[in-house]
Amino acid sequence: MTTAPSALAAPATKQRGPRTVLWTFLASSFALFMAGLDNLVVTTALPSIKEDLGAGLSELEWTVNAYTLSFAVLLMLGAALGDRFGRRKVFASGIAVFTLASALAAIAPSTGGLIAARAIQGAGAAAILPLSLTILTRAVPAEKRPVALGLWGGVNGLSVALGPLVGGAIVEHGSWQWIFWLNVPLGLILVPLTLFKVEESHGPSKRLDLVGTTLVSLGMLGVVFGLVRGHGDGWAAPHIIGALAVGVALIAAFVAFENRTAEPMLPMTMFKDRAFTALTFSGLLMFAGVFGSIFLLTQYFQGVQGFSPLGAGLRILPWTAMPVIVAPLAGPLAAKIGGRPLVIAGLAMSATGLAWFALVASPHVTYVEQIPALVLCGLGMSLYFIPTASLLMSVVKPEQQGVASGTNNAMRELGGVFGVAVLASVFSANGGFVSAQNFVDGLVPALWVGAALAAVGSLTAALIPTRRTPAAAPADADASAKVPVAA
């Protein structure tokens, strides 16, 4: 569930015609779908990429992490660029960058080229996601905004649910390159559609925190590089120790800089609020456990269970598609009992589902035995995602809602990056790709780590105060905050 950092824009000041609203909805939603799909579409293609490009486990990790890492650290910068230079202009530029990067990924001759292209894709997505919601919010009249934002959220959730399935279908009936070529014609249509049919707007903030963005980007890169390469190169290797040390030092410098600058990208004072901190870090732990597990399980379904890429994508649908099914039921429940119990229960169910997988995983386990684990993980993800946005908006001041939602989203994406790196490292330390049993030997302890991360996330969410006086949110903020959006 993602509430974009600049989604809380001022309401539109003039009435837009129905055609303008329709074109804006089409441009923002299709661009969002394209970017959201590429978050998970590559997972079912990993075995094919491994075979075609001779990629090792660390290269496969970077194929996933390069996208999510650049997306996470540039997300708030993308929103700020839109405020400064024009949202339509930056949104169209983000689509163009994403489209070009997709073509580069499709023709990549090596894993290095593919990883670089994926990082550029993430940079484009960092402009697409936050600005798509802002642009749509401004274009739609206030009375129709909840419906439009609900459809926007459904598109985002659908892109995540269909990612593994679309990737599997394309790889099975074509080649992995086509998961990237698919974006090119869509991007070529969306760029002129945006420039000619979407109205321009600017935000109140004109300042860019380039120092903060550089510090946190390089810091995260150093830490993730150390985690990804640590097992293969040796944890005592000088370049691994150096990368981790420099990464941690740069992150510490980022925190110090944000505390001292007049207009920080991330006000550290927000972390003094127990509710905000608990909700943010529970999301990081959730994504670490879940995304790290999906990274390995999509390979398990193909390499060990012997399913085709399409078969693997279909079999993981009880997990990834569950938010779309559960949202209509969980939304009213969250309004009745509050979001806190659902977030805690969702994280606990995710931990239980991953533990179930760890208990039944073997080279010969049947799919029927795995279905309860898939359903539990899907239900847990749904119960966590659906109330998170409105819960987050209720625990911060109205003027901080934009940066709070951006921070929460970025931390979750970074959780996914760390989850893939940590669980893959555990997998490598205990198993590998030598045989089906060897893969399972690495998978099982990695899944237990994923379950533990989600369980700690549930305990962290329990620190959210049980009673809270909601912040008096402005109308636009309230409308966008209540939209469940799958990340």
**Any idea how long the chain is?**
487
Give mean pLDDT, residues 150-173: 73
d(CA 393, CA 478): 8
The percent of the chain in helix, strand and coil, each rounded to the nearest 5, is 80, 0, 20
Q: What predicted TM-score, i.e. pTM, was given to this entire model?
A: 0.75
Give mean pLDDT, residues 162-170: 79
Asked if residue 3 has pLDDT above 80, the reply is no
Residues 98 and 118: beta-carbon distance below 8 Å: no
Q: What pLDDT score was predicted for residue 184?
A: 94
d(CA 275, CA 149): 25
Asked if residue 9 has pLDDT above 60, the reply is no
Asked if residue 91 has pLDDT above 90, the reply is yes
Amino acid at 448: W
Amino acid at 121: Q
Asked if residue 138 has pLDDT above 70, the reply is yes
Q: How far is CA 27 from the centre of its chain?
A: 21
What confidence tier does 417 reach under pLDDT thresholds 50, 70, 90? confident
What confidence tier does 90 reach under pLDDT thresholds 50, 70, 90? very high
Q: What pLDDT score was predicted for residue 66?
A: 85
Give mean pLDDT, residues 414-430: 86
Half-sphere exposure of 102 (CA within 13 A, CB side): 26
Q: What pLDDT score was predicted for residue 16?
A: 59
Asked if residue 164 has pLDDT above 80, the reply is no
